[in-house]
A and B are shown apart, each in its own frame.
Chain A
Amino acid sequence: MSQPTQEEVILAEQAKKEAAPGPETEYQGLSQGQIVRKRFFGHSGALVGLAVFALIFIMAFTSVGFAGIPGWWKYNHVDVSPLVNDGVPSVSLWPLAWGEHPFGQDRIGRDLFAMTMRGAQQSIIIMVIIGAIAGLIGAVVGGLAGYFRGWVEAILMRLTDVIIIIPVLLLAAVVAQMANRRDAAGWFSAFAASNGVVVLGIFLGLVSWVGLARLVRGEFLTLREREFVDAARISGASNARIIFKHILPNAIGVLIVNVTLTMSAAILLETALSYLGVGVKSPDTSLGLLISQNQEAFATRPWLFWYPGLFIVAICLSINFIGDGLRDAFDPRQKKFRAKSAVETGRHSSETAPSSAAPGATSTGSAVSGSPADAGES
């Protein structure tokens, strides 16, 4: 009987350790925003993602210029220049060199660096537009449905159901057709012809909000039943005040995280649509379009294929890591430091336990395996 007491001592010590000022007190006296910021900047993957994305963003927007402002790179995505060394990329790590055409040239002599940068620009623009529109509509629709319930919810959610089953590809094709009809009169086709990317982004944003709306609605449904909402209502707060002051700040985490994930999916969506020929169209360029145009040339000019692809992966990966960091930062259940200490204590107890429990327990142990019901009760 000496074994249990020993364990009791250990458990008591652990309990003391947990009760003592642990990791939780680190956040004492900080506002919600400060805690989130602190957690986010403690997440190394997210920081790397942020750095990579910032680098790509600055490079893409300054190198080839944006909105009429010229950039520092000497070529742009349509200029044809004489082939240098048959278009082989001149960038090299050792010796570190940038060269005339760092990413090489295509068959007719366009500079791939300029094209890739332009493509990255377009992809980022589309991503941001989709994220903003989807986030806004998703928050409004989900919030209204979740807060007011009743017929508002019924109508909005059925609308969501209708939109969720309409294939995105079809909408993209329709937009592409409209943008292509340059001869047609009307302000819309004129606008679409000159700003194809923006229009594509807006349309994709108009259909990407459905998932967000469902999540936000779920969040609102649980939050509106909480005591602090009742308290606010009793003290005479208006609906708008309850929504914006009390519920939305608590639901903002879910919203931000999922907007980030929608944005990373948006990058892949745009590149896929451009690849299929219904997204961004030539003479403008995008990363997906570059790959689609150059996939036949893989055997002769593989760099035309590598660089745009690597940029897609880099952008998407960095956004995903940022999203992961945000999720960890916003998730109130997330106890990063606890989890590690839990592993240690788990190991600790397993070191002390087996000496008493080894032979007898295993024979009964295998008999229990077939019962999910008894395990699922709690």
Chain B
Amino acid sequence: MLSYVVRRLATAALILLGASFLVYLLTASSGDPLADLRASNAPNRQQLMDARSQLLDLDTPAPLRYFKWLGGAAQCLVPFAGSCDLGRSVTGQPITEALGIALIQTLTLVTGATVLAILIGITLGIVTALRQYSALDYGVTFMAFLFFSLPIFWVAVLLKEFGAIGFNNFLRNPVIPLPVSIGTGLVLGVVVAVAVGGELKRRLISGGVVFALVTAVMVYFSATLWFKTPGLGPVVIAIAGVGMAFAVTTLVSGLKNRKALQSALITVGLGLIAYFAVQPLLDQATGLMIFLLAIATVLVGVGVGYLMGGYDRGQSMRAAGITAFLMGGLVTVDRFMQAWPAYFSNSRVRGRPIATIGAGTPNLQGDYWIMTIDTFTHLILPTIALILVSLASYTRFTRSSMLEIMNMDYIRTARAKGLSERSVIMGHAFRNALIPLATIVAFDIGALIGGAVITESVFSVHGMGFLFLDGITHIDPNPVMGVFLCVAITAMVFNLIADLAYSALDPRVRIKA
């Protein structure tokens, strides 16, 4: 095991050396870094050219420059020495500093999108696998292919036009025309009717209920101008909480496990009390506090489950813990909505909240909630774009993996010994279907650092991809090398993790030690 890891790391280091040499030479030979100065008419042209030549050390031939760079980069390997030197960019900024800034930008942009895409993709994949060859399966498959074929820059421009500009115009006078309400209700109703499966009567009832509910909610939103002053309020939170408690319990333990259901419902009750209790506290919120509160919430939920016990204590704890987390989420969303009018009428935002470019409104002042809303409104469009284009592969992959598992003998055994369909799917099939997915997810997390070059350039987020592209256009090897190093190292490490995780999760797979 250890020798395997060491061998893999040693190979990786050699590959990295070779590849970085190639990348350096390619960047350096891709053009003339002084081209823009040569074309300029500035009187001190020669001086500027000399200064840049000096800064980028252009008099040294590129292969030699690579080894100089390597000497600086090697110092990064010495821990805690603080002498990490990846060179400077054309503007004279140290690369280590630029990388730090870019990394934060990229991670805020990509993390949420990746997590959401994985969650939605896996859910869709499992549902379509369970309803193989149904209308839902064909619909989702077609959508997956469609999303897979979408160029992200095209999606991004469409989103900017309709998602941002259109929605902002709508917010000026948030009245939804009645036909739109009915139309949306109809579409969602049909989707639900197709998705639930089962008999025609059951489908029609589910679809009808959803249609009526959605239409009513939209008419209500329109009549009360809800989008101007959104909010959930305790009543909606209570109803949604009870619904979530039932849904979570159904998935985690099945409704037959009364103790689990009771624990989840008690958690919802506690959440409602907490809703009123923590409001004053939330006014002074910070990121750390929200994080601690989230942990405390989950712990309370798990505690309730533990105290309720039942024949399977673990299930009660899980059901209550997840419900508690979701309740906490609802309360937080409600608090964000309370801050919305203040954000909306802020002099910097001027009533056009959904932003099309950048990562934050410049010079915006406000408390935690305002600033976080600002980040969200900037992140929402790139996140949607990224989710759309990366959703398809997860959906397809989960579906095929799940289908393969569902045909296994042990699934038939589980059914034959009389397990409920829920335990067969959640306990036996789902968990095993996730094993090959772990590899894909690890790869994707490794690639996450590289950022989404196109998304970043469309939405002008100054992340890793932007740094890389900027380096290429200015024929400046140092930023390119910095980004390349980060990307390559994380990719390789996560490849290794993927392989190790696979063999840890699936005992049939042995790594060659």
Contact = CB atoms under 8 A, between A and B. Distances in A.
Contacts of A173: 30, 472-473
Interface in B338-375: none
Interface string B425-445: 011100110010000000000
Q: Which 10 A-B pairs have the closest CB atoms?
A: A369-B427, A361-B418, A316-B149, A375-B428, A372-B431, A365-B420, A317-B149, A174-B30, A177-B31, A309-B154
Given A165-B488, A366-B254, A376-B508, A320 B145 contact: yes
Given A163-B19, A299-B161, 18 more contacts: A161-B11, A165-B492, A169-B468, A170-B480, A174-B26, A174-B30, A275-B153, A291-B154, A295-B153, A305-B154, A312-B151, A313-B146, A320-B149, A365-B420, A369-B423, A369-B427, A375-B428, A375-B432
A192 B152 CA distance: 28
B472 A169 contact: yes
Interface in A36-78: none
21 contacts: A165-B492, A169-B472, A170-B30, A173-B30, A275-B153, A276-B454, A278-B472, A291-B151, A309-B154, A313-B151, A316-B151, A343-B132, A360-B418, A364-B419, A366-B253, A366-B254, A366-B257, A366-B312, A366-B420, A368-B423, A369-B253
A372 B408 CA distance: 14
Interface residues of A, number: 59
A317 B146 contact: yes
A317 B145 contact: yes
B316 to A, nearest CB: 11
Contacts of A316: 148-149, 151
Interface string B384-415: 00000000000000000000000111100010
B145 A272 contact: no
Contact of A165 (B19, B29, B420, B435): B19
Interface in B40-75: none
A162 B146 contact: no
A257 B468 CA distance: 33
A161 B432 contact: no
Contact of B151 (A268, A321, A365, A368): A268
A213 to B, nearest CB: 15
Contacts of A320: 145, 148-149
Contacts of A360: 418
Interface string B476-500: 0000100010011001100000000
A367 B315 CA distance: 9
Interface string A145-159: 000000000000010
A131 to B, nearest CB: 16
B230 interface: no
A365 B23 contact: no
A317 B312 CA distance: 49
A357 interface: yes
Main secondary structure of the interface of A (DSSP, over half): helix
B256 A363 contact: yes
- Chain B CB count within 10 A is highest, among A167, A264, A298, for A167
Contacts of A93: none
A366 to B, nearest CB: 5
Contact of B410 (A165, A169, A378): A378
A299 B432 CA distance: 49
B177 interface: no
Interface of A: 158, 161-163, 165-167, 169-171, 173-174, 177, 181, 264, 268, 271-272, 275-276, 278, 288, 291-292, 295, 298-299, 305, 309, 312-313, 316-317, 320-321, 324, 339-340, 342-343, 357, 360-373, 375-378
Contacts of A295: 153, 157
Interface in B1-18: 11, 14-16, 18
B27 interface: yes
B256 A362 contact: yes
Given A166-B23, A321-B145, A361 B420 contact: yes
Interface string B252-278: 011011000000000000000000000
B423 A305 contact: no
Nearest to A361: B418
Given A305-B157, A366-B256, A375-B427, A162 B151 contact: no
B453 interface: yes
B454 A371 contact: no
Contacts of B432: 372, 375-376
A364 B312 CA distance: 10
A27 to B, nearest CB: 21
